[in-house]
Every structure is written in structure tokens, then in C-alpha cells.
């Protein structure tokens, strides 16, 4: 505010029965579909309080700071898609804050509005050149401010929709459309990264290659739609067996799946594979009024940087494939790997 302010430090105001900390981030709960969290930089306590009340009445979450420096400290800790700033403030003015935000690596676009008594053409140009999106001169009517914010909300909403569309496209590009597992392209990229991470941090990992036994006979006897249903059920079973957002499964080809177990040694990999084998063998599929069961053969490869001198994604796949071939040679419906037993 273009008036001296004698107060310094964080202030507290009451909002809806709770204490609201202004000048420091507190109790933000995120963004709703139609409302965005707003950061206010305003050194005049009266103007700041009126602005907070108007914005909260409109349904926004608000955090306030008493100068640009304080606002920038808050912003660096927590992202705000909307910032309302005064121009003349102690320590850092609105132009400095605006430039600092534009130079900060943000997770999304920040819509910045100047609220100031400075109304010359040069002032408006200076604010816009610093990165402001809009400029509102004081005194202003609350309805005009809300109209300006609605413009910002439309822009931020478009950005949000674009991000969602891009994320949907990204997910589709790495997902097997039939089973919902990751696809081979994802596996080709992700597996070398997992091996590199295991080497860097000295953590073990295991790779399971799972193949459904006699799957061709299901397609031949009941049709490919029935086979597709079985494949989806197998992936669902795998996902329930492994750890969510830690381990992952990719369709390697046909009825073969690769399962990556992060920070899991050989013994742990064999344990998970055996648990999966038993779960699959216990499942019943109803096809055209006939109940059928399936079995699977599994090969387990492992890499432990504290034991193995070197490994690669290709070496792990080759090792898992060799153990899978061994499981099939020995009669199927079993797990093979380093130290594996004949136990079913």
C-alpha cells in the first residue's frame, strides 16, 4: 500500500471460527474445481483485511503477507495459482515480487494482479513488463475485482484442462489397452532406470517373468474374447499381489508379464512369485457357463549390488526368461529362480 505501515511480522485474523495465519502459509487444503488458492501481498492492515474477507466470502482460500519479501518466502514453500499484490511495500515491492515469481520454477501458471493507487500509463506498462496479468487501481469496487479474478480463473481452468489432457495422453501411451498393465514401451524405458537406481543406492531388485500355462488352449476352446478376459483378471491378481506405486507390472507379449519388485532380494522375489502362483491357481473363471482354472509358470531374476558385480536390464530379462523356461521344462505351475525349490 502506498501508505506507511507500522506493523511488522505475521498477523492472525479470525475466519469462519478458526484462526487464520497471515504472512505465513497455514492450513491450506488445496484447490477446488472452481476456486483457486490466492496469495495476497499487502502492507496496509485495513486493506489486507478487507481483501481477505471479500475473497473468503467468494469461496477462496487466502494466505496474506505484509510485504513482497514475506510473500515470496511463502510462495517458495507453497504454490499459489493466483497472486494479488500491492506495488509500494517495504523490503520488496510488487514489481520485485512479480519478477521473482516469474523467474521461479512453478508447477503451473501464476495469474498475478496488481492492486495499487498508481495509475499512470508508465506504471501500468512497468507492471505488465514485470509479468503482471492484470492491473486494478485503488480504490476499486469488489465486484470489479471478482470479475478480473474470474478472467484469471478461466485462464487457469484452461491450463488445468490442458494438463489433464496431456496427462491422459501420457498414460495412454504407456498403458496396455487390453489389460491395464504398463506396455512394453514403458518397460523398455523404466527397467534400465530401476537397475541404475539399484546400483546408485545399493538396493536389490527382483524381476519376475510370468507366463500363463497353455493359454492358447483357452483361445482355441473359448475364443479370444474369453482369453482377453482371463488376461485382464491375471493383471488384476498381479496388482493385488504387489505393492501399489512401488512395484509395477508390464505386459511383455501375449500372455507373458514382467513384474518389477523394487528393493527386493532374491528370497523376497521368490516369495512374491510363489504367492502369485498360488493366487492364480486358486482363481476360477466362468466362461459360457463352464468354470475353468489356470496356472502360471514364473521365473525370478534378481540383482543385489552388494553381491553381483554388474547387471543390466537385458541381463535381468534373460535370467528371468531362463528360469521361466526351466519352470516349464519341469512341468509348469511352479516358480524357479536363484535358490528356488520344487515346492508348489
Catalytic residues: 255
Name the grid cell of 49. 483485511
Report the distance separating Cα 176 and Cα 169, nearest Å: 13
Strand duo 256-262 + 248-253: pairing: antiparallel
183 CB-near residues (< 8 Å, 6+ apart): 174, 175, 176, 250, 251
93 CB-near residues (< 8 Å, 6+ apart): 68, 87
Smallest CA-to-CA distance from 36 within 114, 152, 196 is with 152
Residue 129 three-state SS: helix
How distant, in Å, are the alpha carbons of 16, 115, 150, 300 from that of 194? 48, 50, 45, 16
Helix (H) or strand (E) holding 141: none
Residue 159 three-state SS: helix
Secondary-structure breakdown of the chain: helix, strand, coil percentages, each rounded to the nearest 5 = 45, 20, 35
Amino acid at each position: 500500500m502506498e501508505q506507511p505501515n507500522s506493523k511488522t511480522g505475521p498477523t492472525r485474523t479470525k475466519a469462519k471460527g478458526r484462526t487464520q495465519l497471515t504472512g505465513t502459509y497455514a492450513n491450506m487444503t488445496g484447490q477446488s474445481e472452481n476456486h483457486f488458492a490466492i496469495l495476497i501481498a499487502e502492507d496496509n492492515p485495513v486493506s489486507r483485511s478487507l481483501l481477505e474477507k471479500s475473497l473468503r466470502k467468494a469461496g477462496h482460500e487466502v494466505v496474506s503477507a505484509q510485504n513482497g519479501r514475506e510473500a515470496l518466502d511463502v510462495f517458495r514453500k507453497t504454490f499459489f495459482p493466483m497472486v494479488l499484490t500491492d506495488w509500494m511495500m517495504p523490503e520488496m515491492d510488487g514489481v520485485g515480487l512479480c519478477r521473482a515469481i516469474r523467474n521461479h520454477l512453478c508447477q503451473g501458471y501464476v495469474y498475478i494482479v496488481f492492486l495499487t493507487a498508481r495509475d499512470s500509463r508508465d506504471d501500468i506498462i512497468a507492471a505488465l513488463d514485470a509479468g503482471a496479468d492484470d492491473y486494478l487501481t485503488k480504490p476499486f469496487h469488489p465486484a470489479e475485482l471478482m470479475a478480473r479474478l474470474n478472467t484469471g480463473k478461466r485462464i487457469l481452468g484452461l491450463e488445468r484442462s490442458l494438463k489433464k489432457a496431456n496427462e491422459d495422453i501420457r498414460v495412454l501411451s504407456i498403458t496396455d489397452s487390453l489389460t491395464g498393465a504398463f506396455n512394453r514401451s514403458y518397460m523398455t524405458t523404466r527397467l534400465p532406470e530401476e537397475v541404475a537406481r539399484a546400483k546408485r543406492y545399493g538396493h536389490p531388485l527382483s524381476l519376475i517373468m510370468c507366463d500363463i500355462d497353455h493359454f492358447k488352449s483357452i483361445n482355441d476352446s473359448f475364443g479370444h474374447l474369453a482369453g482377453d478376459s482371463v488376461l485382464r483378471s491375471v493383471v488384476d491378481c498381479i496388482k493385488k499381489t504387489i505393492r501399489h506405486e512401488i512395484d509395477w507390472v508390464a505386459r511383455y507379449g501375449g500372455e507373458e508379464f514382467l513384474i518389477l519388485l523394487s528393493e527386493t532380494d532374491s528370497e523376497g522375489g521368490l516369495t512374491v512369485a510363489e504367492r502369485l502362483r498360488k493366487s492364480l491357481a486358486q482363481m476360477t473363471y466362468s466362461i459360457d457357463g463352464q468354470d475353468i482354472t489356470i496356472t502360471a509358470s514364473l521365473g525370478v531374476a534378481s540383482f543385489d549390488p552388494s553381491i553381483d558385480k554388474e547387471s543390466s536390464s537385458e541381463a535381468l530379462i534373460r535370467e528371468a526368461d531362463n528360469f521361466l523356461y526351466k519352470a516349464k521344462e519341469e512341468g509348469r505351475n511352479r516358480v524357479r529362480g536363484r535358490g528356488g525349490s520344487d515346492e508348489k
